[in-house]
Amino acid sequence: MSELPHVRPERPAEPAPAATAPAATGTTATSERLSALDLLSFLCTLFAVASLAIWGFTAWDLPWNIVFGIAAPLATLLVWGLFASPRAVIRVHPFVRGLVELLIYLSATIAWWSAGQAWIGLGFAVVAVVVGVLAGRRRLS
């Protein structure tokens, strides 16, 4: 024990005071706020993922319904997270992002049509395309 050096612990440095007022009030650092259009876009994506899960569990026989019921929404979420989410891993042009969202909405619409619920699929397609076009125009401006 006598061979150990004598080291005295030092007090940690104090954190720097916050330089901006928004961080102190609890708001986010970015100036963008969520709008009703962002909420509708999120709800359309959530409905598409739920639609694909329902389709996967109901359209196939027993061993495959578990596979497709889990794999279809998981693949949708993976593609959405990589290309179309607000914090996308791979940043793409807004047109490519819109195309990815359109393909997700199209797959949910086809899933409803294949389940014999064409009116639900058509209604979702109209709402999703209108929300997607409005959100895409806002992203481009």
Tell me which of 63 and 8 has the higher pLDDT: 63
The reply to whether the predicted model has a pTM over 0.75 is: no
Tell me which of 35 and 74 has the higher pLDDT: 74
- At residue 48's C-alpha, the angle toward residues 43 and 51, to 5°, is 120
- How far is C-alpha 87 from the geometric centre of its chain's CA atoms? 8
Measured between its terminal Cα atoms, the distance across the chain in Å is 69
3-state helix, strand, coil in the chain (%, to 5): 65, 0, 35
In percent, the amount of the chain with pLDDT more than 90 equals 50
Mean pLDDT of 3-7: 76
Task: Categorize the per-residue pLDDT at 98 as very low, low, confident or very high, splitting at 50, 70 and 90.
Answer: confident
The angle that helices 118-140 and 94-114 make with each other, rounded to 10 degrees, is 170
115-125 per-position pLDDT tens digit: 999 999 999 99
d(CA 140, CA 23): 28
**pLDDT at residue 28, as a whole number:** 47
Per-residue CA distances from 68 to 35, 104, 135, 140 (Å): 34, 16, 30, 35
In percent, the amount of the chain with pLDDT more than 70 equals 88
Average pLDDT, the chain: 85
Cβ atoms of 111 and 51 closer than 8 Å: yes
Task: Categorize the per-residue pLDDT at 80 as very low, low, confident or very high, splitting at 50, 70 and 90.
Answer: very high
CA dihedral 128→130→136→137, nearest 10 degrees, is: -170
State both tokens at 31: 């100036």
CA dihedral 50→116→113→73, nearest 10 degrees, is: 20
pLDDT surpassing 70 at residue 27? no
Mean pLDDT of 74-93: 91
